[in-house]
Amino acid sequence: MSESTNLDFNNLDIEKLAQGLLENFKNVENIMTDFSKTYEQLELDPFNLKELYTEWFMTAIRNPQKLAQINVEFLQNAMHLYQRSAMGFLGINAEPVIQEARSDRRFHHEDWAKEPIFNVIKQSYLLVSQWMRSLVADVEGLDDHTAEKVKFFTERYLDAMSPTNFAATNPAVLQRIMETKGGSLVHGLKNMLQDLENGNGQLKIRMTDTEAFELGKNVAVTPGKVVFQNRMFQLIQYTPTTEKVFKRPLLVVPPWINKFYIMDLQPKNSMLRWFVEQGHTVFVISWINPDERYSDIGFDTYLEEGVLVATDVVQQITGENEFNAIGYCLGGTLLSTTLAYMKTKGDKRIRSATYFTTMIDFSEPGELGVFIDEEQIGSLEERMNREGFLEGSSMAGAFNMMRANDLIWSFYINNYLLGNDPRPFDLLYWNSDSTRMPAKMHSWYLRNMYLNNRLCKAELTVAGAPIDLSTVDVPTCFVSAVEDHIAPWKSTYAGAQLFSGSVRFILGGSGHIAGIINPPEGGKYDYRVTDVLVPDPDEWAAGAEKHPGSWWPEWQRWIAPMSGDLVAARQPGSSKFKVLEDAPGSYVKARSGSTVAVAPPKLPAAAKTESNAKAPKAVKPAVKSGSPKAWTIKAVDVSKAADDLTAITGIGPKLAAVLQQKGITSYAAIAAMSAEEIKTLLLSEGPGYSRYDTSSWPEQAKLLNGK
């Protein structure tokens, strides 16, 4: 290793080091043995990659000449690497055969360049990666969708096989192992097992310390009040900070796939706070986090009992008949559909629309397209029909896969190989705070938007009305991000041309989140903007002038003339719509698998509106009476437990809480039970608990109790 990281071996107590390593690796062995017994039935091929790569191989071998050429080039490069690495081991400098891209942060540790052995490992990996990419690129005879899937999953395989992801070939990890006598690996494996337990057998890597944040305390703190709620959403009205406000209020429609407070993380980067400071009366929809009882809720309901009801409430609270609206991501898709619906009813209350990273034309969905085909949607529908919803973590996993090195493997290395605990980060806290999606609605959305692209073709009927976006003639502003991998900007640009009114297009820097949440004070990135859209997006980008910094002030200059005169600031609520609770409300606090949950509310009598939407109906249960699933999860104060049950191998924090709920709070209680009795107790919680091996728990408990 290099001098900067090398340990002083002359001052090491080798005997103590060896003893420490031996003890810790014994712990590692015990942990892995327990892991293998506990998680024996994981689904190893959820994307059916076996059939995918079989199809690729059978097509690729039809062109043996191309395969031979690729293999010969690889062998030649491998021979060059062998020769130059031999020179490196002899102390002779040699030019590398291949180098990583400047943007590749995996190999920033100096030993990857200075130490011959690590340099060879790195270059070998880069050469194999280059070879595999060549094998799957431009395979003649393979249909485009299959080809994209093969390339996508090949990249994910290469991400996973990086030498930085293995303890034996990562110099930073080896250094940490020596410093901690192997303790870092033990702590890392405990972190892994805790994540597996929290994920019910699926490895859900914690990206941040989720205990470091609390909604309304240090995130989502912009002052405001919940002024309305029904079974679909809570409506938040924010407290004004100026004496005068624009006459037209502003309604924000976030996506239902994640929570609205991405726009209100901290005061320094809160978009909602900034809107308020500019003089807007801001209303935000906070969607319910649905459970299995919402399984038959469709897209129509999100329009009728969601955006339309919110529109009615905003009108009645402010007394205004015209206002502006913003839709973020899928919320923008819903907003555009709502505007087309309102057009059929002669409803002209929304007078301008802004769309953040919104796809309306789904013909080029980017990398998300690899997850969209009949086979995969059918498989997803089977799972949703069993549970009544799609767990939000499933979608989060797909998004993370698209940026695996940043959103998966960097945390894998930090938490498991280096044995560090996750660090607090508000954005990653929000990212982990996933929401569920009703089975019917999500299936409809995937099929009609992504799979068949019916919205832009005017082929949809929603809530009994034909949806034709070309009839929408209100002033429109699209804001997209140049590096967005979820809503590619060229796709959003295509959708922006579907409306008949004036359209401004703003292209900011960075990606799906950072490109939007970019406050002016940060001085980050740049943006392009024009009011004239040519058919070709590349031609548009080449001709649009770049401006430094945030696009937020540019949007404010656009929206201000359409916001009316200044009037006295409006406090949240009205005589008819009483304040229900402080922002951010209770709906947003319902976390998947947490102790915080809310019951689906009844529509308050004072909140009845004159909307074109149908009156809210009771939701039919999606499961039979007596189902073990429940809306509210009982909370347990773990701090009052007499003993730390997680000291027993095989019991993690989540399982310890289950045992404590059942009155098992001490080593003595477990020691007094047989393994079969413990197993029976766990099975009373559900069949998923059959995976736990309880055979050694009583004996372990006796030993711990005797200490």
CB atoms within 10 A of CB 348: 13
Q: Is a pLDDT exceeding 80 seen at residue 343?
A: yes
Q: Name the residue ranges covered by the structural domains of the chain.
A: 9-198, 224-366+437-607, 638-706
CB atoms within 10 A of CB 166: 13
H helices present in 244-329, as ranges: 271-277, 299-301, 309-318
Mean pLDDT of all residues in 290-317: 95
Q: How remote is the C-alpha of 256 from its chain's centroid? A: 12
Question: Is residue 564 within 8 Å of residue 247, measured between CB atoms?
Answer: yes
Contacts of 412 (CB under 8 A, 6+ apart): 165, 205
Q: What is the predicted pLDDT for the residue at 490?
A: 96
Q: How far is CA 50 from CA 57, 158, 273, 401, in A?
A: 11, 17, 50, 19
State the CATH class of domain 638-706. Answer: mainly alpha
Question: Is residue 400 within 8 Å of residue 371, measured between CB atoms?
Answer: no
Q: Is a pLDDT exceeding 60 seen at residue 524?
A: yes
Q: Is a pLDDT exceeding 50 seen at residue 221?
A: yes
The more confident residue out of 149 and 507 is 507
CA 438, 439, 441: angle at the middle one, nearest 5? Answer: 70
Q: What is the predicted pLDDT for the residue at 640?
A: 39
pLDDT tens, 447-456? 999 999 999 9
CATH architecture of 224-366+437-607: 3-Layer(aba) Sandwich (3.40)
pTM for this one?
0.75
Least confident of 170-184, 224-238, 374-388, 629-643: 629-643
Helix/strand/coil (H, E, C) string of 495-509?
A: HHCCCCCCEEEEEEC
State both tokens at 393.
């973590």
Q: Which residues pair with 238 in a beta bridge?
A: 224
53: part of which helix (H) or strand (E)? helix 49-60
Mean pLDDT of all residues in 497-515: 95
Question: Which residues are marked as active site?
Answer: 329
Round the CA-based radius of gyration of the chain to a whole number and report it.
28
Mean pLDDT of all residues in 143-167: 91
d(CA 266, CA 503): 31
State both tokens at 512.
């799906």
Q: Which of 125, 129, 123 is nearest to 80 (CA)?
A: 123
Q: Is a pLDDT exceeding 80 seen at residue 25?
A: no
CA 312, 315, 317: angle at the middle one, nearest 5? Answer: 105
Q: What is the predicted pLDDT for the residue at 419?
A: 92
Question: 224-366+437-607 and 638-706: same fold?
Answer: no
Q: What is the predicted pLDDT for the residue at 648?
A: 85
Per-residue pLDDT band at 33 (split at 50, 70, 90): low
- pLDDT > 70 in the chain, percent: 83
Give phi and psi for 97, each to the nearest 5. Answer: -70, -35
pLDDT tens, 35-88? 444 444 444 456 678 888 889 999 999 999 999 999 999 999 999 999 888 888
Mean pLDDT of all residues in 696-705: 85
The more confident residue out of 75 and 92 is 75
Mean pLDDT of the chain: 84
Q: Is a pLDDT exceeding 50 seen at residue 702?
A: yes
User: Which sign does the torsion angle of CA 395, 396, 402, 408 carry?
Assistant: negative
Measured between its terminal Cα atoms, the distance across the chain in Å is 42
pLDDT tens, 607-665? 334 333 333 333 333 333 233 233 332 333 333 346 888 778 778 666 777 888 888 88
Question: Is residue 456 within 8 Å of residue 469, measured between CB atoms?
Answer: yes
The more confident residue out of 346 and 644 is 346
Q: What is the predicted pLDDT for the residue at 646?
A: 77
Mean pLDDT of all residues in 550-565: 97
CB atoms within 10 A of CB 277: 13
Give phi and psi for 491, each to the nearest 5. Answer: -70, -40
